[in-house]
Amino acid sequence: MLSALPFFWSSAFAAQDLYFNTADSPDFNRYLNDSSNWFTDEGRTQQFEGTLGPDYNGIVSGVTVIAVSGTDLNLNSLSITCENGAKISLTLGSSITLAQDLTFDMNSGGISGNMALYNSIKVGGNMTIDCSSIGEETVSTPEFSLTGQSTRAKIDIDGDFSVRFGSQSAEKLQMYTSTDISIGGIMRMDNLWWQNSSKQHYHTLGGMSGNGDIVLYNGSISMNLTNSTAQETSLTFGTTTENSTFDISMNGSAAGRQTIRFRAGTPEGTDGNINDVIVGSGRLDLGMHSGMKGARLSLSGTEAMFSATASDSGNIGTVTFDEGEWYAGKIAVDIEGELAYDKIVFNGRFDKTGSDHDMGFEFVFDAYTMRELISANDGEFILEDVITYETGSSMAGTVFEGNTSGIQWEAVFGDTSLSVSFTVPEPAAVAAVLGAIAFAFAALRRRR
């Protein structure tokens, strides 16, 4: 009996579907927050007589112009169907708050959707733009825009954002934004051509996944990543003017990791460079195609980790920045062979702005392969250009030491580059280390 209670409660409190009035009704007006516009049956014969709220799912179809104005709208979920080549427009003069999902169903060719935001929209679940039922004959790219018309304009999504396509010929949704977007879940870039307007954009994302495109029109993007899980995305980044800037900040949890692989081939403008990259917490793996660089790399938090990676696939890559600073955190370096390892190139200075105690390296390699490399190089394997920088950098003279999988390493910052040597400790040295550990344990037991 008790096992049936969860089902009973979920069924008893399931939100009720309401259907919005159609444009061919003589009593039609466009306001979603007018309760008299809603019906309890799909045929729209039974008018809703209650108060709109989170106990109801709003279903909208057969209209092209809708709005929220005067009073705020609260619903459980909202589903809007764009059909028959319609250009649907949703204007938010007042705010919308949804406990669950927002869905736009773009189910025919030649369609576009627009949300004109004079106020905010809060989505407690996911936002989905569903293009899966567009016919295979469609050759034009469907379009959608999120336009901010005031300083209050913002879209805030607790869950994920995604674009859904079927097997038709149109492969991407062209989405134009001139408002800030906050996504607590994942920004799923598959099938998305994301155009950002000529203004300052502040986007907060709980991670990015999939393959997509980002374009910036004579403006700037500050993207704050707050990952709590590991995510990976492959992106093109295009600009229409040289002075457009794209800043990336990583502020994830201890388990948060974001891999971004920038590839060449933007669908609009020219392949652009990124600007400042700041890693405050969590791990950021960054891959750049050969024509790309960044302005500045900063490692600023004790829980931060940065690594170069490949621009297409794999773990080995080279990233280039004009300059960099290291206050705290770790740099991870993947090593697969004598000529296959990560590199970070600074065209200018690489400066130390924090304490050595808050910095460190994580070298990732196969221990058997590394022992072979050490043996083949007379007992010491050296990489001399893992990080390169300009003379006069304050990182020069800094030394780190460690042991990974029984391999001893020493990382020395020279005048213009980081040199890392790998050796296998001699048996006597190993015995001395073990003896020191045993002595420390014995001393600890005596204190107890």
Max mean pLDDT among 129-143, 144-158, 412-426 falls in 412-426
What is the residue whose two structure tokens read 């690594």? 307
Q: Is the pLDDT of residue 394 over 90?
A: yes
Q: Residue 301 — left, alpha, or beta (φ > 0 → left; ψ -120 to 50 → alpha)? A: beta
Please give the average per-residue pLDDT across 51-56, as a whole number: 98
85-99, 124-138, 174-188: range with lowest mean pLDDT: 124-138
Residue 261 to residue 437: CA distance in whole angstroms:
43
Max mean pLDDT among 8-12, 63-67, 132-136, 399-403 falls in 399-403
3-state secondary structure of 342: coil
32-36, 182-186, 250-254: range with lowest mean pLDDT: 32-36
Task: Indicate the DSSP class of residue 268.
Answer: S
What is the CB neighbour count within 10 angstroms for residue 350?
A: 25
Kind and range of the H or E run holding 371:
helix 367-376
Do 35 and 16 form a contact (C-beta atoms < 8 A)?
no
Tens digits of residue pLDDT in 152-172: 888 999 999 999 987 655 578
pTM across the whole model? 0.90
Q: Is the pLDDT of residue 396 over 70?
A: yes
Residue 183 to residue 405: CA distance in whole angstroms:
39
What is the CB neighbour count within 10 angstroms for residue 326?
A: 25
Strands (E) in 22-86, as ranges, are: 38-39, 56-60, 65-68, 73-75, 77-82
Confidence grade of residue 143 (pLDDT, cut at 50, 70, 90): confident
Beta-carbon contacts of 370 under 8 Å, excluding residues fewer than 6 positions away, are 335, 381, 405, 407, 422
Please give the average per-residue pLDDT across 88-95, as a whole number: 87
Mean pLDDT of the chain: 90
What is the CB neighbour count within 10 angstroms for residue 307?
A: 24
